């Protein structure tokens, strides 16, 4: 492994003239101990790249603890930014360039197989000559471990450089790193300074000024010392674009949808959506209520929906579990409610900062009794925005609970998308305070559709008592079998009515073939990219992505019939088919696979993983090859394609 | 019902003035199905009297309850009602009030609802101090599920779950309420003293904040004896009297034990709540000046066009 030590200032004569490598895409990671600002550095790099016209996808690498001990692989905190000439829909496979603040956090990424075998690594040099023998030994043993791959390791005196401007370089290294990346990738420094101003000026002018100096320091250092540049040409967008992460898109979508109340309780990885609302909601006339617990957050949202326009609650898996009884109440009383579940790894506290898609069945079937509800899953950052508008309109129109299933990948992922064109109709409040016409009942179910207009407190002639007990159309408590049968049918019928209004999902690739891959949620970009790769090799594979999980979009059985085999790809657990004791009959499947088998009676297979990170397209492509009947796996598939650790 | 006078111009009656007056029948809902002799009947009567006395518009009034015998309360009224889930009446009421400060909100909870499964909400709702009346109908037992120990069951009282008698000293809801930061109204009354009950409900309704009222209530089936002494011997009861509290002169002949207690004196209130020598009825604490959450969270409303402008400005910030 070539190691370069570039600690001393080169003279003008020795300054290398840089080689410019032009690439259609490049993936960068910044990894550090927690609290060293790697994410902020990467967010700015990603946002500026997007603003310059590059396709971008970012994924944050977040340890579960706020302050894990320094210099341990488990504490690795960072961010991956995949930048492309065209649109980028997922975090890709291997990282090409790494900025690492110490060798232990770098090891974490190396061990996960996250780095390309020819990756360039810019690493803090101070550990190599650290006075502590233990650290020096750790450094040496890390270098030995890293030498199994052909990385290019460049030692950078990050702290030494930062110390020329500040006393505590821990808080400044990230801006130095950003400066280096700006130089390497030719990023627009004015735009970067704008982003720094946006992030730090509200803290203090002094911090802003210092960060700008550090940025310049990193830029100048790279200019003087690095012998390479990377050029990922940008494609100027043909329409106005915006760039944000998924939780910001959910928060802004909530504003666009006209929500006026969101009740929540802090939970990772959902909370940043509430942070966004906490900052903006007041100005829009909305209230972000931080309740005393998850249960109360659901209760406040339901109370608010009952008394006015539909309200919102935002949570993640464990919070969803606590809200279960209230969700049942909302279903039973047909009180509209929108719940955002930003999924993380489970069960229990599980993997709080890591992505997973394993709340689907809990959302659908988590309530005792029959509790039909609408479940939609955005697949992109753009869909996070629009899902909120769709969710509120469905909740109000169908007088029902709508769950928006996002996940940790979308939550922190940053991607540019076409600027939404706000529409007044999105924000319209169905808030009727006129007198109720004589004879109106609280549940005037249309016997065909199950739809009814709700009565809101304040409406004269309307008073009735809403109850979580089974009730007839007058909201009178009624336990007789006939009433329960009919009321259950009315609550359920609404889903069929909604389904009749949905379009069949479109198929990515040919309309028929050997294998149809079915996915949902944030995996769309990686699945489509994997399908494209295998199709280039001649594989007869297509993909289909579901936005609606309840009701399922129409036409699935017909679509499935056109393929020899159907297989879901999901970020949740399923038994490996060849594991001990596992048979075709007892194998536990991915959550969407269960659902599709039940609804289509097709023998749907699944390939699912719980790696605690997004799926990589190469791993999906390899799985596709193994599921395709006639095509042998590509002999030279990259190592990372053998599966995600 | 809205009454219009005969006028010459029809435009004058196009928008009616609200000069309705409400009688008891305007508030009476379904016939109450509590057991004969249940204290809830007396509380329902007092609440209906209050609604008439204060002429509360039925459509502007919401009764929120949890689960239990007492939580059937809203069904027996002709106002809006929300009969929710066990222990969670207060969060629902918080949501109603946050969305609609214009509505008058009453919360009806049993001792299981308020002091056991919903105890966390109880503490926080008192701290939010939103303007509403929160009634704890305390019969010291789980009645609907048939005779299980509640936190307020007297120590030693046998139930189906603790047949050798309740193990722990009974929880004192007044002490807890007086311990909550930002609590603004804490009172105790008893269903068998209707005049005091009504006067306390009226003071609670008129309080500008969350008024917490514990109502001692007999369950004729499972706890007929626990308040028997206090029912039969007025000298066991001590009325807390003060111009800023509850004054019921007609009770003075029967209840000789009276103590002047200034409800602004929190320390004295806590002392009186803690001493278990007597059953004290009256306002323990009252402060009209505590901050109310709905005031702190008041927002400006915008037209759709204004919101659209704000949203476009927000999108500009994220524009490429």
Can you tell me the mean pLDDT for A19-23? 96
Length of chain B, in residues: 320
Distance from the B195 Cα atom to the nearest Cα atom in chain A, whole angstroms: 28
pLDDT digits (tens, 9 = 90+) for A43-56: 999 999 999 999 99
Question: Does residue A113 contact residue A148 with C-beta atoms inside 8 Å?
Answer: no
Mutate to test the interface with B, among A299, A334, A431 (most CBs of B within 10 A): A299
Average pLDDT over residues A207-218: 95
Say which of A261, A285, A296 has its CB closest to residue B99.
A261
The partner residue sitting opposite B304, judged by closest CB among A50, A301, A427, is A427
Alpha carbon distance, N-terminus to C-terminus of chain A: 24
Q: Strands B185-190 and B279-286: what pairing?
A: antiparallel
Binned at pLDDT 50, 70 and 90, residue A16 comes out as: low
- pLDDT tens column, B97-116: 999 999 999 999 999 999 99
Task: ipTM value, please give it.
Answer: 0.95
- Chain-wide mean pLDDT for chain A? 93
Give the CB-side neighbour count of residue B313, counting CA atoms within 13 A. 9
Q: For residue B319, which residues of chain A lie inside 8 Å, CB to CB? A: 240-242, 419
CB B289 within 8 A of CB B129: no
Other CB atoms closer than 10 Å to residue A125's CB: what's the count?
A: 18
pLDDT at A643: 39
- Classified as helix, coil or strand, A249 is helix
Cβ contact (<8 Å) for A248 and B297?
Answer: no
User: CA torsion sign, A278 to A282 to A285 to A287?
Assistant: positive
Mutation to test the B interface, candidates A87, A248, A283, A296, most B Cβ within 10 Å = A296
Q: How many CB pairs under 8 A join A and B?
A: 190
Question: What secondary structure letter does DSSP report for A586?
Answer: T
- C-alpha B187/C-alpha B51 separation (Å) is 19
Q: In whole numbers, what is the pLDDT of chain B averaged over residues?
A: 94
| CA atoms of B151 and B164, how far apart (whole Å) | 16
- Give me the residues paired with residue A262 across strands: A288, A312
What residues pair up with A245 in beta bridges, in sequence order?
A: A414
The H or E element containing residue A119 is strand A115-124
What average pLDDT does the segment B84-100 reach? 98
Residues A115-123, mean pLDDT to the nearest whole number:
96
Facing B96 at nearest CB: one of A292, A307, A326: A307
Q: Which residues of A touch B297 (CB under 8 A)?
A: 287, 289
Among A406, A358, A383, A404, which Cα is nearest to A593's? Answer: A358
User: The sheet that has A541-546: what strands, in order across it?
Assistant: A507-508, A541-546, A513-520, A563-570, A605-608
Contact B98 A303 (CB under 8 A): yes
Closest Cα partner for B60 from B15, B7, B28, B97?
Answer: B97
Instruction: Give percent of chain A with pLDDT exceeding 90.
Output: 88
Does A466 contact B82 at a Cβ distance shorter than 8 Å? yes
Q: How far is CA A102 from the centre of its chain?
A: 27
Q: In percent, how much of chain A has pLDDT > 70?
A: 95
Residue B13 confidence (pLDDT) above 60: no
User: For residue A296, which phi and psi values (nearest 5 degrees)?
Assistant: -60, -35
Name the pLDDT band for B16 (thresholds 50, 70, 90).
low
The tokens describing B171, both together, are 């929880």
Q: What is the pLDDT of residues A71-90, one digit of tens each?
A: 999 999 999 999 999 999 99
- What's the rounded mean pLDDT across residues B136-155? 97
Alpha-carbon span A256 to A388, nearest angstrom: 8
Q: Distance (Å, rounded) from C-alpha A193 to C-alpha A208?
A: 9
Give the strand order in the sheet containing A465-467. Answer: A465-467, B80-83, B61-65, B104-110, B132-138, B210-216, B185-190, B279-286, B237-241, B258-260
Of A201, A241, A336, A465, which to mutate for an interface test with B (greatest number of B Cβ within 10 Å)? A465
pLDDT tens figures, B25-39: 999 999 999 999 999
Torsion of CA A197, A172, A96, A354, to 10 degrees: -80
**Nearest of B153, B164, B82, B64 to residue B112 by alpha carbon:** B153
CA distance A574 to A248: 31
Distance of alpha carbon B43 from the chain centroid: 11
- 3-state SS assignment for residue A197: helix
What's CA B44's distance to the chain center, in Å? 12
The C-alpha atoms of residue A519 and residue A544 are separated, in whole angstroms, by 6
Q: What is the pTM of this model?
A: 0.93
Q: Round to whole Å and give the CA distance between B98 and B297.
A: 8
Which of the two residues, B2 and A309, has the higher pLDDT score?
A309
Superfamily of domain A242-427: Thiamin diphosphate (ThDP)-binding fold, Pyr/PP domains (3.40.50.970)
Backbone angle region of B147, left / alpha / beta, with phi > 0 → left and psi within -120 to 50 → alpha: left
Q: Tokens for A450?
A: 């199950």
Q: Which fold has domain A507-642?
A: Rossmann fold (3.40.50)
Identify the closest residue of chain A to B320 by CA–CA distance.
A51
With CB atoms and an 8 Å threshold, state whether B80 touches A240.
no
State residue A264 phi and psi, 5-degree precision.
Answer: -150, 170
Q: Give the distance, in angstroms, between the CA of residue A435 and the centroid of all CA atoms in the same chain.
A: 45
Of A293, A460, A461, the CB nearest to B120: A293
Nearest CA in chain B to A332: B84
pLDDT reported for residue A494? 98
Phi, psi dihedral angles at B258 (to 5 degrees) = -135, 145
A285: nearest CB among B124, B302, B314 = B302
> What's the per-residue H, E or C state across chain B?
CCCCCCCCCCHHHHCCCCCCCCCHHHCECCCCCCCCCCHHHHHHHHHHHHHHHHCCCHHHEEEEECCCCHHHHHHHECCEEEECCCCCHHHHHHHHHHHCCCCEEEEEEEHHHHHHHCHHHHHHHHHHCCCEEEEEEECCCECCCCCECCCCCCCCCCCCCCCCCCCCCCCCHHHHHHHCCCCCEEEEEECCCHHHHHHHHHHHHHCCCEEEEEEECCECCCECCCCHHHHHCHHHEEEEECCCCCCCHHHCCCCCCEEECCCCCHHHHHHHHHCCCCEEEEEEEECCCCCCHHHHCCCCCCCHHHHHHHHHHHHHHCEC
Neighbours of B23 (CB within 10 A): 9
Answer whether the bond into residue A477 is a cis peptide, omega within 30°.
Answer: no
State which residues form the domain around B49. 22-292
Query: Which of A198, A299, A476 is nearest residue B92 as measured by Cβ atoms?
Result: A299
Closest residue, chain A, to B103 (C-alpha)? A458
- B6's CB contacts (< 8 A; 6+ apart) are none
Per DSSP, the three-state class of A384 is: helix
Q: Is the predicted pLDDT of residue A637 greater than 60, yes or no?
A: no
By CA distance, what is A467's nearest residue in B? Answer: B83
Report the residue of B76, B315, B316 to disrupt the A interface, i.e. the one with the largest count of A CBs within 10 Å. B315
Can you point out the beta strands (E) in A363-407? Answer: 374-376, 401-407
The Cα of B27 is separated from the nearest Cα of chain A by a number of Å equal to: 10
N-term to C-term CA, chain B? 59
Whole-angstrom distance, CA of residue A494 vs CA of residue A219: 59
Give the residue on B whose Cα is nearest the Cα of A416.
B320
Contacts of B91 in chain A (CB under 8 A): 291, 295-300, 303
| Whether residue A551 has a cis bond before it, omega within 30° of 0 | yes
Contact A263 B95 (CB under 8 A): yes
Q: Which residue of B has its CA nearest to A307?
A: B96
Taking the CA of residue B43 and the nearest CA in chain A, the distance in Å comes to 18
Query: Do the beta carbons of residue A235 and residue A53 sit within 8 Å?
Result: yes
Measured between CB atoms, which of A261, A295, A463 is closest to B79?
A: A463
Report residue A562: phi and psi, to 5°.
-85, 0
Tell me the CATH number at B263: 3.40.50.970
Interchain CB distance below 8 Å, A419 and B319 = yes
Contacts of A461 in chain B (CB under 8 A): 59
Q: Is the dihedral of CA A202, A206, A211, A212 positive or negative?
A: positive
Q: Which CATH superfamily is domain A3-231 in?
A: Pyruvate-ferredoxin oxidoreductase, PFOR, domain III (3.40.920.10)
Give residue A14's pLDDT: 52
What pLDDT does residue B5 have? 44
pLDDT level of residue A67 (50, 70, 90 thresholds): confident
Q: Which residues contact A539 (CB under 8 A, 6 or more apart)?
A: A514, A515, A624, A625, A628, A631
CA distance B235 to chain A (A): 41
Task: Give me the pLDDT at residue A635, please.
Answer: 53
- What is the residue whose two structure tokens read 């233990």? A134
Residue A631: pLDDT over 50: no
CA distances to B22, B39, B122 from B32, rounded to whole Å, are: 20, 12, 26
Domain boundaries, chain A: 3-231, 242-427, 432-501, 507-642
Tell me which H or E stretch contains A166.
none
A385 has a pLDDT exceeding 50: yes
**CA–CA separation, B198 and B205 (whole Å):** 10
Averaged pLDDT, A12-36:
86
d(CA A517, CA A620): 10
pLDDT digits (tens, 9 = 90+) for A128-186: 999 999 999 999 999 999 999 999 999 999 999 999 998 888 888 999 999 999 999 99
Encode B30-88 in three state secondary structure. Answer: CCCCCCCCCHHHHHHHHHHHHHHHHCCCHHHEEEEECCCCHHHHHHHECCEEEECCCCC
| Chain A interface test: which of B16, B84, B132 (most A C-beta within 10 Å) | B84
Nearest chain B alpha carbon to A288: B297
DSSP string, A305-319: HHTSS--EEEE-HHH
**For residue A468, which residues of chain B lie inside 8 Å, CB to CB?**
67, 83-85
Which chain B residue is nearest to residue A313, measuring alpha carbons? B95
B98 contact residues in A (CB cutoff 8 A): 261, 287, 289, 300, 303-304
Partner residues linked to B83 by β-bridges: A467, B65
A242-427 has the same fold as A3-231: no
Question: What tokens appear for B218 in the block?
Answer: 């007999």
CA of residue B37 relative to chain centroid, distance = 21
% of residues, chain B, pLDDT over 70? 95
* A415 strand-pairing partners: A244
């Amino acid at each position: 492994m070539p190691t370069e030590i570039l600690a001393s200032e080169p003279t003008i004569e020795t300054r290398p003239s840089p080689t410019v490598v032009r690439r259609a895409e490049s993936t960068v990671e910044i990894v550090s101990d927690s609290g060293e600002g790697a994410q902020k550095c990467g967010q700015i790099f990603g946002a500026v790249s997007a603003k310059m016209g590059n396709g971008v996808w970012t994924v944050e690498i977040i340890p579960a603890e706020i302050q894990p001990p320094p210099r341990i692989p488990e504490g690795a905190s960072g961010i991956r930014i995949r930048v492309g000439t065209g649109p980028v829909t997922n975090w890709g496979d291997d990282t090409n360039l790494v900025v690492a603040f110490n060798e232990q956090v770098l090891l974490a990424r190396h061990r996960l197989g996250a780095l390309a075998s020819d990756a360039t690594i810019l690493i803090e040099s101070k550990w190599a000559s650290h006075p502590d023998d233990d650290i020096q030994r750790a450094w040496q043993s890390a270098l030995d471990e890293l030498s199994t791959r052909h990385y290019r390791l460049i030692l950078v005196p990050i702290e030494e450089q930062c110390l020329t401007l500040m006393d505590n370089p821990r808080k400044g290294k990230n801006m130095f790193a950003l400066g280096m990346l700006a130089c390497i990738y030719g990023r627009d420094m004015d735009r970067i300074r704008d982003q720094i101003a946006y992030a730090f000026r509200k803290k203090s002018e002094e911090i802003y000024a210092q960060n700008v100096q550090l940025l310049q320091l990193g830029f100048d250092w790279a200019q003087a010392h690095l012998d390479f540049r990377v050029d990922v040409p940008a494609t100027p967008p043909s329409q106005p674009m915006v760039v944000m992460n998924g939780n910001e898109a959910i928060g802004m979508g909530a504003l666009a949808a006209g929500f006026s109340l969101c009740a929540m309780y802090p939970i990772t990885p959902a909370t940043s959506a509430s942070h966004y609302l906490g900052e903006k909601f007041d100005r829009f006339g909305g209230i972000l209520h931080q309740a005393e617990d998850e249960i109360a957050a659901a209760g406040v949202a339901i109370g608010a929906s009952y008394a006015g326009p539909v309200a919102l609650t935002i949570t993640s898996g464990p919070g969803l579990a606590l809200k279960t009884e209230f969700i049942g109440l909302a279903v039973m009383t047909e009180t509209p409610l929108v719940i955002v579940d930003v999924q993380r790894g489970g069960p229990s506290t599980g993997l709080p900062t890591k992505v997973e898609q394993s709340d689907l069945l809990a959302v659908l079937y988590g309530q005792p009794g029959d509790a039909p509800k609408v479940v939609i899953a955005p697949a992109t950052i753009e869909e996070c925005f629009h899902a909120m508008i769709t969710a509120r309109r469905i909740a109000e129109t169908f007088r029902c609970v709508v769950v928006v299933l996002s996940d940790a990948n979308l939550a922190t992922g940053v991607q540019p998308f076409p600027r939404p064109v706000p529409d007044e109709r999105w924000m319209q409040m169905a808030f009727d305070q006129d007198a109720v016409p004589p004879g109106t009942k609280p549940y005037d179910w249309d016997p065909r559709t199950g739809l009814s207009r709700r009565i809101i407190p304040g409406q004269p002639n309307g008073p009735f008592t809403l109850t979580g007990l089974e009730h007839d159309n007058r909201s009178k408590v009624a336990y007789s079998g006939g009433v329960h049968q009919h009321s259950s049918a009315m609550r359920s019928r609404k889903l069929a009515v909604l389904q009749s209004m949905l379009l069949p999902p479109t198929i990515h690739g040919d309309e028929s073939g050997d294998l149809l891959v079915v996915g949902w949620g944030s995996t769309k970009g990686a699945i489509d990219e994997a399908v494209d790769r295998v199709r280039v090799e001649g594989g007869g594979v297509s993909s289909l992505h579901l936005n609606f999980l309840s009701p399922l979009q129409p036409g699935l059985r017909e679509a499935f019939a056109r393929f020899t085999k159907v297989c879901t790809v999901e970020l949740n657990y399923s038994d490996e088919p060849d594991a001990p004791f596992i048979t075709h009959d007892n194998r536990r499947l991915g959550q969407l696979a269960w659902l599709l088998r039940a609804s289509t009676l097709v023998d749907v297979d699944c390939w699912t993983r719980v790696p605690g990170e997004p799926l990589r397209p190469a791993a999906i492509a390899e799985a596709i090859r193994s599921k395709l009947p006639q095509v042998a796996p590509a002999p030279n598939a990259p190592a990372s394609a053998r599966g995600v650790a | 019902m809205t009454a219009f006078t005969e006028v010459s111009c029809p435009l004058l009656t196009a928008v009616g003035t609200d000069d309705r007056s409400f009688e008891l029948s305007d508030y009476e809902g379904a016939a109450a199905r509590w057991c004969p002799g249940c204290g809830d009947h007396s509380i329902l009567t007092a609440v209906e009297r209050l609604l008439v006395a204060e002429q509360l518009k039925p459509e502007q009034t919401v009764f929120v309850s949890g689960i239990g015998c007492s939580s059937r309360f809203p069904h027996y009224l002709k106002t809006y009602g929300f009969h929710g889930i066990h222990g969670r009446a207060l969060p629902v009421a918080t949501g109603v009030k946050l969305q609609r400060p214009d509505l008058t909100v009453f919360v009806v909870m049993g001792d299981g609802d308020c002091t056991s499964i919903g105890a966390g909400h109880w503490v926080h709702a008192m701290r939010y101090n939103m303007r509403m009346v929160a009634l704890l109908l305390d019969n010291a037992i789980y009645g609907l599920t048939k005779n299980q120990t509640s936190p307020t069951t007297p120590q030693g009282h046998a139930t189906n779950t603790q047949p050798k008698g309740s193990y722990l000293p009974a929880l004192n809801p007044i002490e807890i309420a007086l311990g909550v930061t930002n609590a603004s109204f804490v009172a105790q009354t008893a269903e068998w003293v209707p005049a005091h009950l009504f006067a306390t409900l009226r003071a609670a309704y008129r309080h500008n904040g969350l008024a917490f009222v514990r109502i001692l209530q007999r369950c004729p089936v499972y706890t007929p004896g626990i308040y028997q002494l206090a029912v039969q011997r007025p000298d066991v009861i001590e009325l807390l009297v003060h111009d800023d509290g509850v004054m019921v002169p007609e009770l003075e002949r029967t209840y000789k034990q009276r103590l002047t207690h200034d409800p602004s004196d929190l320390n004295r209130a806590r002392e009186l709540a803690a001493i278990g020598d007597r059953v004290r009825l009256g306002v323990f604490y009252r402060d009209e000046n505590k901050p109310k959450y709905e005031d702190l969270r008041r927002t400006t409303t915008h037209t759709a066009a204004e919101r659209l402008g704000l949203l476009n400005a927000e999108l500009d910030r994220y524009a490429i």
